[in-house]
Every structure is written in structure tokens, then in C-alpha cells.
């Protein structure tokens, strides 16, 4: 009851903010318009524009958790439609900065030393202030220029209250609306919670930066600032300061004598390598987080939101994209069934037809106008008709691809960035989807099975010994047969556990 009362009170506040911005009608229910008028007490809305723009303004007023929620919802074109999802993707994660004395206090507490001992210079004016943290430039005692990210005070407690409300609402929806359970709302809230909790522990962001840097070791075309681990903690992250031109400032890049097509090619190749080679990608690579250095190489910042795609999903995704590019829509449909994205009781022929209806209008355009991200987004929109379960990792990837394509079009609208990465794509396809790759996968599976063999043999022998000693109760006839009773009495055959283990090993290898 206490939880319900607390959440209903917060829900009332949220409803009033949505009503003021005329954003209640985004739920498309007749009662929403009437409710909005009542909550505004007859006053006109303070915001006009498209529904997605009004919702973005309301979420900004509601604070950090709802800004993050809006950014997460921007990946759900299947729920909100493309226009609203696009409007939410423009949601700016910018808030008024908190006082510098609070930032200094957090740094001193986290690093167990005053700011003046940690840095020879600390700029009290932040260069950026977002919902989770703000950034200050500083200089270390040994003369290195750094950027210091400081978590907002009290953000964790505010987030816990809001996430409890979202989970409570999701639980009620799943309880009262069985047809919506396929959307896995409670699980989606938990995924959202996990991502933001990780984002609020800056040590995880530091680890993500270090892992991404390691993945691109030896590749100067995509760089990650070095982590200063001695000045990093849960609420403070210190990174090497980045110097460069924002990637969307094409005039400045060209004026610096840097070839725009080369920058675009590096952006395409680095994104492809992150997703398909490494399965670990920067999921918030908008122009504010990507710079071009004096040598024309890319430098990324802000590693709070990262995505992972396992090897199996990468293979399915690769085959799906290849099927679309080749016009083999039947194969695209089959891949969805094989991956378990579409329930087995659905009709593969009908799903093939749906895939064709989505792809033909897109793939028939000139190459530079083709958007793979939009193709995936429209594919996810047919989820309700075919009861496809939500795939959070693919939604995040699709949003990241959309952002990457936007960066590419700002640099050169006449070039398709995926076409520039074609050699990498073709090589990856051969290495991962060709006959040799399947043979390699089978061999690797067999090797892994053999690696498990010693432990399996030990467990089998232990189980067999336990059976003989009465540790496991079997039928008396079974025990008699294993001991050789019913004929002449003899000792238990010592080869039996090894035969059993060999049979199990063979089954694992052939699986």
C-alpha cells in the first residue's frame, strides 16, 4: 500500500507535466484529451509541435530518469512509430550544471584527497552538463590535460524512485493486458534499469573505454582517450582530454585539409568492426561524442552506453542483411524463425511476404539513399502481427546504426557509408557465413566438447561409484544387472563408466 501510494503520487505529478505540454494524447486514447484539459485547469498547453516534440519537452522537465527513458524509447519505432521515435532521438541530454563546490566535494570524497592535490589546475566552469554527470577540464600534477566527469549529487536515489514507478506500471500492464505481454515490459524496465545503473558507476564507463581501446589497438583510425585510473572512482572518471573537430562540422573539417570521404570511410569501418568483429559497440555515437583529430582520424568520448551482440546474433544479423541485399526474402524469413525471433507456429510464407513489402521500397532506391537502419526499424514494426518478441540488443544496434548513418549523411549525403565498408563486409561474410566458417564452427564445437571430457569422465565415474555404493537408489533389477547378478557373480566391470563417458562425448561432438 505504501508503494502504491508513493507511485500514485508521483504518477499524478507526471500526468500534470504531460498535460501542460499537451503530451498526454500520445497514448491515443479518447480519455487522454479530456484528462489533459482537466489537469491543465482550462489553461492552454505551454508547448506546440508534433507529438514527439511535445513528449520530449515534457520528459526533459521531468528530469534525468525520464530523459534517459525518452532516449531508450527512441529505439522503439515498433511501438511509437517512426516520426515520434525520430523526435525522441533528438532529445537533448542537457541540464543546468550543479555548483562547482559540490563537484569539488564529490571529487575529494571519491579520490580521498582535495582537488588541489589531485590536479594542478581545475576549471570550475563545466564544459558539459547532462542528466547523469557533468564534465570539467583539468590538468594533472604531471602536466597532462584531462577531462573529469563528475556524477550528479543525489542522482542514484532519484533514479531508484522513478524506476520503481516504471516497474510498478509495467507489472500492472502485464497483469491486466495479456496481449501486451509479448513486449516484455517488466524485462524492458529491468534492462533500462541495468543500463542506467551501470552508467551511474563511472568505473564501468572507464572499463568500457579501456575495452574499446584494446579492441582497436594498433588501429589509429579510431581512437579512445586513455583512462587515468588513479583519478577514477564510482562517481569520478578522469580521461585524457580530446582535441578535435566535432564530426558534423564538415566545413571546419574540410578547411583543415582533411578528406571528408576518408573520414566517412573510417567511420563506416570502425562501426562495422565494433559490431561484427568485436560484438562490442559504442551505442551513443552522436556527433557530440565523435571528433576528428588533426590527422583525420576519429576520436570517441562518452562510453556510458555500450552495446553487445553475441556471435550467434551477429551471424543471424549478417545472414539477414545479406538476404535483404540479395533479394532473398525467403531466407530472411527463415533466419527469423531459426533465431527464435518469430514463434514457430507463425506462417513462414506470410512472413516472407511481409519482409518483401518492407524491403522493396527501400532497396529499390539509389545506393546512397538506402538506409539499413531504417530497414531494420521497419522490420521491427511488424512485431505485433507476428508476435515477435522484443530483442533489446537489436533495438540498440538499430538506433546506433541510424545515428551512424546520420553522421555519414552530414559528411557527404551522396555516399552510402555501408558501401564504403563493402570490402570489410564481404570478407566478414566469407569468414563467418561461408562453408569454411561452418566447418570451423563444427571443429571448435568438437574441441570444446573434448575440453569438457575430463570433467565429464570424472563426474560419470563418481556417479557410477555412488550407484554401486547405494548413494543413488536404482531398481533392484538394474543393480543386479550392473553387478553381474543373475549369472555368475563377478566384480563390477571397470570399463563401464568409460564406455558411458565415450558415448556421451560422441553425442556432444555430434550435437
Secondary structure string (H, E, C) spanning 16-29:
HHHHHCCCHHHHCC
Nearest to 225 by CA among 281, 283, 293: 293
Give yes or no for a contact between 55 and 21, defined as CB atoms under 8 angstroms apart: yes
In order of 146, 410, 473, the CA distances from 251 in angstroms are 27, 10, 80
Give CA–CA dist 395/74, Å, rounded. Answer: 10
- Which position has the grid cell 584527497? 113
Contact 361, 374 (CB under 8 A): no
Instruction: Convert 245-261 to b/e letters by CB count within 10 Å (16 or more is b).
Output: bbbbbbeebeeeebebe
- The answer to whether 199 and 305 are in contact (CB under 8 A) is yes
Q: What is the DSSP string of 226-260?
A: PB-GGG--SSEEEEEPP--EETT-HHHHHHTT--H
Q: Which three cell numbers stand for residue 301?
A: 568520448
Give the whole-angstrom CA distance, residue 487 versus residue 455: 34
Catalytic residue among 22, 78, 87, 284: 284
Q: Which residues contact 427 (CB under 8 A, 6 or more apart)?
A: none
**Beta carbons of 91 and 56 less than 8 angstroms apart:** yes
Cα–Cα distance measured from residue 325 to residue 323, given in angstroms and rounded to the nearest whole number: 6
For 382, the grid coordinates are 511488424
Which of 227, 244, 246, 225 minimizes the C-alpha distance to 289?
Answer: 246
CA distance 73 to 62: 15
499 Rama class: left (phi>0) / alpha (psi -120 to 50) / beta: alpha
Please say if 284 is a catalytic residue. Answer: yes
Q: Contact 395/75 with Cβ under 8 angstroms?
A: yes
Cell of 146: 584531462
C-alpha cell at 35: 484528462
**Separation CA 73–CA 76 (nearest Å):** 5
Chain position carrying cell 570478407: 427
What nine digits make up the cell of 20? 501542460
C-alpha to C-alpha distance for 210 and 303, rounded to whole angstroms: 10
Q: Which of 227, 228, 193 is nearest to 211 (CA)?
A: 227
Question: Looking at the annotation, which residues are catalytic?
Answer: 284
Amino acid at each position: 500500500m505504501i508503494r502504491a501510494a508513493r507511485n500514485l503520487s508521483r504518477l499524478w505529478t507526471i500526468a500534470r507535466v504531460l498535460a501542460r505540454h499537451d503530451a498526454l494524447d500520445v497514448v491515443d486514447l479518447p480519455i487522454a484529451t479530456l484528462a489533459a484539459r482537466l489537469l491543465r485547469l482550462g489553461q492552454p498547453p505551454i508547448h506546440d509541435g508534433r507529438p514527439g516534440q511535445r513528449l520530449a519537452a515534457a520528459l526533459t522537465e521531468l528530469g534525468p530518469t525520464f530523459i534517459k527513458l525518452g532516449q531508450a524509447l527512441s529505439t522503439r519505432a515498433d511501438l511509437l512509430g517512426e516520426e515520434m521515435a525520430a523526435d525522441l532521438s533528438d532529445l537533448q541530454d542537457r541540464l543546468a550544471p550543479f555548483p562547482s563546490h559540490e563537484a569539488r566535494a564529490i571529487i575529494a570524497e571519491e579520490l580521498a584527497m582535495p582537488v588541489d592535490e589531485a590536479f594542478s589546475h581545475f576549471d570550475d566552469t563545466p564544459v558539459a552538463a547532462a542528466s547523469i554527470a557533468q564534465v570539467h577540464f583539468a590538468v594533472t600534477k604531471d602536466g597532462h590535460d584531462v577531462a573529469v566527469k563528475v556524477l550528479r549529487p543525489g542522482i542514484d536515489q532519484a533514479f531508484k524512485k522513478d524506476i520503481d514507478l516504471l516497474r510498478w506500471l509495467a507489472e500492472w500492464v502485464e497483469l491486466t493486458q495479456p496481449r501486451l505481454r509479448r513486449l516484455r515490459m517488466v524485462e524492458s524496465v529491468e534492462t533500462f534499469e541495468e543500463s542506467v545503473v551501470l552508467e551511474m558507476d563511472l568505473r564501468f564507463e572507464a572499463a568500457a573505454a579501456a575495452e574499446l581501446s584494446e579492441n582497436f589497438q594498433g588501429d589509429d583510425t579510431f581512437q579512445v582517450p586513455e583512462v587515468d585510473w588513479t583519478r577514477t572512482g564510482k562517481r569520478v572518471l578522469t580521461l585524457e582530454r580530446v582535441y578535435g573537430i566535432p564530426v558534423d562540422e564538415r566545413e571546419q573539417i574540410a578547411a583543415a585539409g582533411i578528406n571528408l570521404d576518408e573520414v566517412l570511410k573510417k567511420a563506416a569501418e570502425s562501426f562495422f568492426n565494433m559490431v561484427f568483429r568485436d560484438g562490442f559497440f559504442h551505442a551513443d555515437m552522436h556527433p557530440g561524442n565523435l571528433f576528428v583529430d588533426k590527422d583525420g582520424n576519429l576520436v570517441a568520448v562518452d562510453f556510458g552506453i555500450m552495446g553487445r551482440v553475441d556471435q550467434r546474433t551477429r551471424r543471424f544479423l549478417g545472414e539477414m542483411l545479406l538476404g535483404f541485399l540479395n533479394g532473398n526474402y525467403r531466407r530472411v524469413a527463415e533466419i527469423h524463425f531459426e533465431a527464435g525471433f518469430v514463434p514457430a507456429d507463425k506462417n513462414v510464407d506470410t512472413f516472407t511476404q511481409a519482409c518483401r513489402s518492407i524491403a522493396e521500397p527501400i532497396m529499390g532506391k539509389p545506393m546512397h539513399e538506402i538506409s539499413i537502419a531504417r530497414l531494420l526499424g521497419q522490420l521491427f514494426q511488424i512485431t505485433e502481427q507476428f508476435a515477435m518478441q522484443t530483442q533489446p540488443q537489436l533495438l540498440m544496434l538499430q538506433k546506433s546504426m541510424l545515428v551512424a548513418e546520420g553522421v555519414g549523411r552530414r559528411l557527404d549525403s551522396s555516399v552510402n557509408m555501408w558501401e564504403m565498408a563493402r570490402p570489410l563486409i564481404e570478407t566478414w561474410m566469407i569468414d563467418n557465413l561461408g562453408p569454411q566458417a561452418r566447418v570451423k564452427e563444427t571443429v571448435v564445437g568438437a574441441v570444446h566438447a573434448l575440453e569438457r571430457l575430463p570433467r565429464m569422465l570424472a563426474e560419470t565415474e563418481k556417479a557410477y561409484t555412488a550407484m554401486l555404493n547405494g548413494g543413488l537408489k536404482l531398481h533392484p533389477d538394474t543393480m543386479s544387472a550392473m553387478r553381474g547378478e543373475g549369472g555368475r557373480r563377478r566384480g563390477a566391470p571397470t570399463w563401464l563408466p568409460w564406455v558411458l563417458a565415450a558415448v556421451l562425448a560422441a553425442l556432444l561432438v555430434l550435437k
